[in-house]
């Protein structure tokens, strides 16, 4: 099969290689001239592909994806298909499908998981869209997915189903990462555990919490014991927020995922205003010691035990 791939970054470049390794032809484009692109423009990419064309978009969600899909809508022809494999918000997919559909161009949304390890291990694919459009792209999905029966799902015939599934996947990932992180911090703080890295490493065999994320935690600790080279600052790329928004819209309680998202917000505060208020209130009602700017504590400001 022949496919165009727009966006040759960390994931896109590896995906192009895996598709080629699967015996297919990839025409790659990236806006950066420094990338290993095959063509210098979207126009040239479309011209190089044989009709009916299939073009996979692998660029950042939001504005970059909107601009790319809009440009393809002007360049492609009736019968062509666009696949959005980025981390787009599922609500954007209906708009893209409607705009392209008015021109007779198909649209498939594909949530992709696998990160920098996908080239070797394969990518998990969660796909949404009309069955006939998905079937057209199936050879490429088969080349990208891991070997075996798993790793691919046509999540639903309505566009947005793939990105919704990937959004929930990433929300679960938030919760799992937070649980591992909290367990690590507790063991690091306890005088009972002499070797935190080896303890976590021992969980890789025979435990109910073993996972690929646990394997990655071990790799991180082995390369940087104590994680001293890192700052405790964690970004969120959007999917966690969207998962919580969807939970509110559907009246579904997600306490773990929501707490994990808020923990990332807290990580960006050098001196949390909320925790300052907690400390101030504890001092006010109970005379509990608090650290203040320029001094060790302000516990003498309020008489101990006062209410």
* Catalytic site includes residue 166: yes
155, containing H or E segment: strand 152-156
Token pair recorded at residue 6: 């727009």
* 238 touches 87 (CB < 8 A): yes
Angle, alpha carbons 221-224-227 (nearest 5°):
80
- The number of beta carbons lying within 10 Å of the beta carbon of residue 148 is 7
Q: Of the listed 166, 229, 235, 239, which one is catalytic?
A: 166
Torsion of CA 30, 33, 36, 37, to 10 degrees: 50
248's CB contacts (< 8 A; 6+ apart) are none
* Catalytic site includes residue 173: yes
Q: Of the listed 44, 173, 201, 276, which one is catalytic?
A: 173
Report the phi/psi class of residue 226: left, alpha or beta, with left for phi > 0 and alpha for psi in -120 to 50. left
Question: Any idea which residues carry the catalytic annotation?
Answer: 166, 173
């Amino acid at each position: 099969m022949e496919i165009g791939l727009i966006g040759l970054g960390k994931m896109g470049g590896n995906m192009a290689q895996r598709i080629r390794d699967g015996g297919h032809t990839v025409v790659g484009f990236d806006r950066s001239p420094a990338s290993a692109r095959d063509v210098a423009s979207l126009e040239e990419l479309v011209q190089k592909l044989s009709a009916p064309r299939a073009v996979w978009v692998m660029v950042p969600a939001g504005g970059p994806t909107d601009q790319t899909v809009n440009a393809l809508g002007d360049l492609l022809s009736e019968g062509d298909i666009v696949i959005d494999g980025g981390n787009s918000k599922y609500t954007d997919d209906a708009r893209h499908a409607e705009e392209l559909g008015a021109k007779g161009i198909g649209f498939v949304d594909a949530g992709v998981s696998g990160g920098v390890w996908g080239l070797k291990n394969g990518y998990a694919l969660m796909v949404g869209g009309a069955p006939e459009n998905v079937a057209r792209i199936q050879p490429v999905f088969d080349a990208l997915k891991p070997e075996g029966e798993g790793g691919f799902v046509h999540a639903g015939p309505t566009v947005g189903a793939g990105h919704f599934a990937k959004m929930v996947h990433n929300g679960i990932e938030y919760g799992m990462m937070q649980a591992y992180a909290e367990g690590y911090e507790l063991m690091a703080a306890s005088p009972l555990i002499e070797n935190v890295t080896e303890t976590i490493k021992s969980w890789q065999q025979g435990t109910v919490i073993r996972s690929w994320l646990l394997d990655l935690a071990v790799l991180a600790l082995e390369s940087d014991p104590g994680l001293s080279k890192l700052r405790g600052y964690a970004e969120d790329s959007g999917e966690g927020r969207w998962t919580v928004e969807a939970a509110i819209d559907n009246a579904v309680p997600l306490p773990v995922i929501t707490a994990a998202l808020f923990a990332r917000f807290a990580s960006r505060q050098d001196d949390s205003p909320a925790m300052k208020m907690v400390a101030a209130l504890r001092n006010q009602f109970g005379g509990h010691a608090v650290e203040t700017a320029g001094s060790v504590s302000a516990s003498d400001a309020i008489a101990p035990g006062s209410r």
